[in-house]
A and B are shown apart, each in its own frame.
Chain A
């Protein structure tokens, strides 16, 4: 990333953040979705103990689908408001991509910080390996942000949007999703948590970021 890009990225991030604070729709959608799902899980369990593997899978399912409720709006909202052509006119592709990606990452991190402790509290799961747990959450969030931003741009012109984002996201995010569940289970005391999986997740995140950066130019600029 060129250093001259940074002011533009900051501008896009600030714009997203200000709009997010003003309208809050995406924030509420994500937080309430996560809370509702978590409440469903917790009520269904009625305090029964959860196997670490099952707890890990449930946590990631909640995070994944809650993130879908907010991450898919980054370009669709601009398209609906009619601001996309202006952004295309003044914003270079990489500035827009990285600015929106940072904002999505920030949004998902806030969601994770809100939902993970609540999940542990309500399900009674205990973290045995704190570092692995935090590292997995961080890398998982990064992967979802990277793939989510590009896919949000892809689905922008689609006639049928409902569900499309999750359909496109799941296969791409599986190489992050599956090790994340495996590592989280390990962090909750359910088996091993090999460092190589964390490295694998970090590598895949890097590949997703690079792929999104290279491919976004084709979507952003008209022929």
Chain B
């Protein structure tokens, strides 16, 4: 698995730096998109996993689900920082300012706040079922914001963001770029999955240690 991911990462890097053509209006700055879009996607995916596993914990009471929810949130926090920073750099290069509260910048920033709040809550409570329950409830409660973040908040701010790759008129991207983007998405999702499995194991071991003490 690691070898395949390593090869895929090298392939994606090669494609991004040597094959992808400069984009209209963006030039070679477009290379940053092949990092920014996948990390933003993983940040959102981790949020869904954290809420889903939180729900499973509340239903079944298994500490494994709590570890999975926490691992997804911890990695999500890391990826959302990468998405925010890379988005800000991209914004500076293309629009001239690091931050302008563009709808998607706002959404990703709210996600950052949610992850930060979730991790602060876990840090403020002693390990055990009570912490797991509180964290799961918060993961699900904050999940309620998603439809509003997607449908209401974007209408409050003017957007400079390009339209999504897949929009109302179909696929809006050069074929080579699209293939490279899909490869980058698969690669970063794979990296997330590998880190996620490792982090779940680590958190479960930590929980066992705390219980033994």
Q: A interface vs B, CB < 8 Å?
A: 147, 150-151, 154-155, 157-161, 164, 167-168, 170-172, 174-175, 178-179, 182, 197, 200, 204, 207-208, 211-212, 215, 218-219, 223
- Total interface residues on B, using CB and 8 Å? 31
Assembled-state Cα–Cα distance A186/B148 (Å): 20
Bound: A170/B149 CA distance, A: 13
CA–CA, A211 to B138, complex, Å?
10
| Chain B interface residues (CB < 8 Å from chain A) | 58, 61, 110, 113-114, 116-117, 120-121, 123-126, 129-131, 133-134, 136-138, 140-142, 144-145, 148-149, 152-153, 156
User: When the two chains form the complex, which single residue of A157, A164, A171, A212 contacts B142, counting CB atoms closer than 8 Å?
Assistant: A171
Known: A167-B116, A182-B156, A219-B133. A154 touches B121 (CB 8 A): yes
Contact A154 B124 (CB under 8 A): no
The answer to whether B152 and A175 touch across the interface, beta carbons within 8 angstroms, is: yes
Instruction: List the B side residues contacting A218 at CB < 8 Å.
Output: 58, 133, 136-137
Q: A150-B137, A154-B138, A215-B141 are in contact. Are A179 and B156 (CB under 8 A)?
A: yes
With a cutoff of 8 Å between Cβ atoms, the chain A residues found around residue B149 in the complex are 174-175
- Which residue from chain A places its CB closest to the CB of B134 in the assembled complex? A154
CA distance A2 to B153 in the complex (A): 34
B130 x A168 contact (CB < 8 A): no
**By the criterion CB–CB under 8 Å, are A223 and B129 in contact?**
yes
Which residues of the partner chain A approach B58 to less than 8 Å between Cβ atoms? 215, 218
Check B129 against A167 for contact (C-beta < 8 Å).
no
Q: A159: which B residues are within 8 A, CB to CB?
A: 124-126
Decide if B148 touches A164 in the complex (CB within 8 Å). Answer: no
Given contacts A164-B124, A171-B117, contact A200 B152 (CB under 8 A): yes
- Decide yes or no: A208 and B152 within 8 Å by CB, A158-B124, A158-B125 being known contacts: no
Residues on B with C-beta less than 8 A from A157 are: 125-126, 130-131, 134
Across-interface contacts of B110 in A (CB, < 8 A): 171, 174
Query: Contacts A160-B124, A164-B121 hold; do A154 and B145 have CB atoms under 8 A apart?
Result: no
Nearest Cβ on chain B to A35's Cβ, whole angstroms? 28
Q: How far is the CA of A216 from the CA of B193 in the complex (A)?
A: 32
Cβ-neighbour of B137 out of A164, A179, A215 (below 8 A): A215
Closest to A204 in B: B148
Q: How far is the CB of B104 from chain A (nearest CB, A)?
A: 15
Query: In the complex, A218 Cα to B149 Cα: how many Å?
Result: 26
With A154-B134, A170-B117, A223-B129: A211-B153 Cβ-Cβ less than 8 Å: no
Interchain CA distance A212-B46 in the complex, whole Å: 23
- How many angstroms between the C-alpha atoms of A170 and B126 in the bound complex? 23
Chain B min CB distance to A6 (Å): 25
B126 contacts across to A, CB distance below 8 A: 157, 159
Q: A207 to chain B: closest CB distance in Å?
A: 5
* B120 lies within 8 A of A172 (CB): no
**A212 close to B156 (CB less than 8 A):** no
Residues from chain B with a CB closer than 8 A to the CB of A200 are 148, 152
Interchain residue pairs with CB less than 8 A apart (20) = A147-B141, A154-B134, A157-B130, A157-B134, A159-B125, A161-B124, A164-B120, A164-B121, A171-B110, A172-B141, A172-B144, A172-B145, A175-B153, A178-B153, A178-B156, A179-B152, A211-B140, A215-B141, A219-B137, A223-B61
Q: Do A170 and B113 contact each other (CB < 8 Å), given the known contacts A160-B124, A175-B153, A207-B144? A: yes
Question: Contact: B152 with A197, CB < 8 Å?
Answer: yes
Which residues of the other chain, B, contact A182 by a CB distance below 8 angstroms?
A: 156
Task: List the A side residues contacting B145 at CB < 8 Å.
Answer: 171-172, 174-175
A215 partner residues in chain B, CB cutoff 8 A: 58, 137, 140-141
A134 to B160, CA, bound (A): 33
- A159 and B134 CA atoms in complex are apart in Å by 13
A168-B138, A215-B141, A218-B133 known; A175-B125 Cβ under 8 A = no
CB atoms of B141 and A219 under 8 A apart? no
